[in-house]
Amino acid sequence: MHTIETPMLFDSPRTLESLGIPDADIRFVHDFFVPLEANDYFKRLTTDTSWTQPVLRVWGKDHLQPRLSCWYGDPDAVYRFSGKTFRPHPWTPALQCIRHKIQGATGFHFNSVLLNLYRDGHDSIGMHSDNEPELGPMPVIASLSLGATRIFRLKHRHNAFAPVSIALSNGSLLIMAGQTQERWMHGVRKDTQDIGPRINLTFRRILTA
């Protein structure tokens, strides 16, 4: 397995660097927020988010999603799924601040954000691509991580490129763009270590009617 070492020293802070992953456009900065700022957002989002734990139906069996989540955004950023329309919660001041800062750094506009809370090492997200039709072709997704470091894994969908692991630490920002969703899957496995909570925010642009 190919592991990308995230540069800590001699790296100009807050610059999005391409990770050079083939067939993808993935950029990363380890200190988008300095620890003090990241810790402050982590605390605010832990308490101020309307966390839910949806039930997922997998192979005809119901399972509790192995993490908590909540979705925020503009009123018209709606998802349609199984004949239902899902509307986001309205932006909170903290989420608006984070959104504006990420928009400034990337030059992209995001109209929604999905928050995931991994309570400990038992929580996870399975391998998937964020390729829902509402995101359109070649979506740009900005992923901010707060709290405990977890390993983000990427696996190519069609060929034998080596899987990639990236340590997503407190305050880091990862951008997935171009063909990343079409060609690669990503996920965060359970971790056997005694690991603290982590919040991940994926900012997205949903195509509106």
Binding site for ligand AKG (CB under 6 A): 114, 116, 125, 130, 143, 152, 168, 186, 188, 200, 202
Minimum distance between the CB of residue 185 and Fe ion, rounded to whole angstroms?
A: 9
Minimum distance between the CB of residue 14 and ligand AKG, rounded to whole angstroms?
A: 19
Closer of 41 and 152 to Fe ion (Cβ): 152
28 binds, options ligand AKG, Fe ion, none, Cβ within 5 to 8 A by partner type: none
Closer of 60 and 133 to ligand AKG (Cβ): 133
> Minimal CA–CA distance to 169: which of 30, 76, 27?
30
Minimum distance between the CB of residue 10 and ligand AKG, rounded to whole angstroms?
A: 26
Q: Which residue in 74, 130, 132, 134 binds Fe ion (CB under 5 A)?
A: 130
Minimum distance between the CB of residue 30 and Fe ion, rounded to whole angstroms?
A: 20
Rounded to the nearest 5°, which phi and psi values hold at 154?
-120, 135
Minimum distance between the CB of residue 113 and ligand AKG, rounded to whole angstroms?
A: 10
49 binds, options ligand AKG, Fe ion, none, Cβ within 5 to 8 A by partner type: none
Closer of 26 and 168 to ligand AKG (Cβ): 168
Residue number of the CB closest to ligand AKG reads 200
Closer of 23 and 37 to Fe ion (Cβ): 23
Torsion sign across C-alpha atoms 107, 27, 208, 69? negative
Stretch that binds Fe ion, among 11-19, 27-35, 90-98, 130-138 (CB under 5 A): 130-138
Closer of 9 and 186 to ligand AKG (Cβ): 186
Closer of 8 and 206 to Fe ion (Cβ): 206
Q: How would DSSP label each residue in the chain?
A: -EEPPPP-SSPPTT--EE---TTSEEEEETTSS-HHHHHHHHHHHHHHS--B--EEEETTEEEE-SSEEEEEE-TT--EEETTEEE-PBPPPHHHHHHHHHHHHHH-----EEEEEEE-STT--EEEE----GGG-SS--EEEEEEES-EEEEEEESSS-PPPEEEEE-TT-EEEEETTHHHHEEEEE----S----EEEEEEE-----
